[in-house]
Amino acid sequence: VQLQAFGGGLVQAGGSLRLSCAASGFTFDEYAIGWFRRAPGKEREGVSCIRSSDGSTDYSNSVKGRFTISRDNAKNTVYLQMNSLEPEDTAVYYCAAGMPYWVVADPFDPKLYSYWGQGTLVTVSS
C-alpha cells in the first residue's frame, strides 16, 4: 500500500497550488480519501475528505470556499486545489485513505484512516 502526496511548494499569499495524492496497492475506489495538515507547532488538522461512493465532500471551516477536493478513480488519484492561499495554510499536507463506513463518523478524525502518505510541504509567504 502506498500513498504519495506531491505538488507542494512556495507560493505567495493569494496564490494557488494543486496537491495530488497518488495511491497504489489497494482498491482505491472503495476508500474515502482525506487531506490533513500539520503546521509548525500545531496539531494535525483535517482539511478535506472525499467519499468513495457518491464523491461527497467535506471541508474544514478554515478552508471552505477556498479549497476543492476531487478524485479520479481511473488514475487512483485525489487532488486538492488550493486557492486564495494564506500564510496560515503553511503546513505539511498529508493524504490518507480510510474505509467510508469508518470515516463517515468523523471525516477529520485521523484515527479512522488506515493508510497515510509521506506529506508534502506547502509554504505561503506574506
Rounded percentage of the chain residues whose pLDDT exceeds 70: 100
Cα–Cα distance list, 92 to 1, 31, 37 (Å): 21, 22, 5
Query: Under a CB-based contact definition with an 8 Å cutoff, are residues 79 and 16 in contact?
Result: no
* pLDDT at residue 73, rounded to an integer: 94
* pLDDT at residue 21, rounded to an integer: 98
Q: Which three cell numbers stand for residue 82?
A: 488550493
**What b/e sequence results for 4-39 when a residue is b if at least 16 CB atoms lie within 10 Å of its CB, and e otherwise?**
ebebbeebeeeeebebbbbbeeeebeebbbbbbbee
* pLDDT at residue 52, rounded to an integer: 85
What is the average per-residue pLDDT within 29-58? 94
